[in-house]
Amino acid sequence: MGLLERVTARHAERFERRFGWDDYLSLFADGPFGASLYGTVTGGQERVEGNFDGIVNGVYKRSGVVFACLLARLLVFSEARFQWRGFSRGGRLGALFGAPELGLLERPWLGGSTGDLLARMEQDSTLAGGFYATRRRNAAGQERIVRMRPDWVTIVLGSYENPDLEAFDLDSELIGYIYQPPGGQAQVLLPEEVCHYAPVPDPIASYRGMSLLQSVIRDIEGDQAATTHKLKFFENGASPNMVVTMDSSVTPEAFARFKAVMEAGHAGALNAFKTLYLGGGADVKTVGSNFQEMSYKAIQALGETRVAAAMGVPPVIVGLSEGLSSATYSNYAQARRRFGDGTLRPLWRNAAGSLASLLPPRPGAELWYDDRDVSFLREDQKDAAQIFSIQASTIANLVREGFTAESAQAAVAAQDSSLLVHTGLLSVQLQPPGTKFKQPNDSGQSDETEDEPEDDAADDEGTGPDEEEEQQ
Which pLDDT value is given to residue 391? 86
Which pLDDT tens digit goes with each residue over 256-310?
877 787 777 766 555 555 666 666 666 666 655 555 545 556 666 777 888 888 8
Go through 147-176 and write b for each residue having 16 or more CB atoms within 10 A of its CB, e for each that does not.
bbebbbbbbbbbbeeeeebebeeeebebbb
Domain boundaries, the chain: 1-226+293-373, 227-286, 380-449
In 3D, which of 171, 207, 205, 175 has the Cα closest to residue 188? 175
pTM for the model stands at 0.66
- In contact, 369 and 80? CB cutoff 8 Å: yes
Query: Whole-angstrom Cα distance, residue 21 to residue 338?
Result: 30
| β-pair partners for 134 | 146, 194
Which pLDDT tens digit goes with each residue over 31-78?
333 333 333 332 333 334 457 887 888 788 888 888 999 999 999 999
Which pLDDT value is given to residue 289? 54
DSSP H helical ranges for 179-272: 217-235, 252-266
Query: Whole-angstrom Cα distance, residue 410 to residue 155?
Result: 44
Beta strand extents in 324-461 (DSSP E only): 365-370, 437-440, 446-449
- In contact, 190 and 183? CB cutoff 8 Å: no
- pLDDT for residue 228 is more than 60: yes
| Angle in degrees, CA 371, 375, 381, rounded to 5 | 65
DSSP H helical ranges for 363-421: 378-400, 405-414
Mean pLDDT value across the chain: 74
Which pLDDT value is given to residue 354? 95
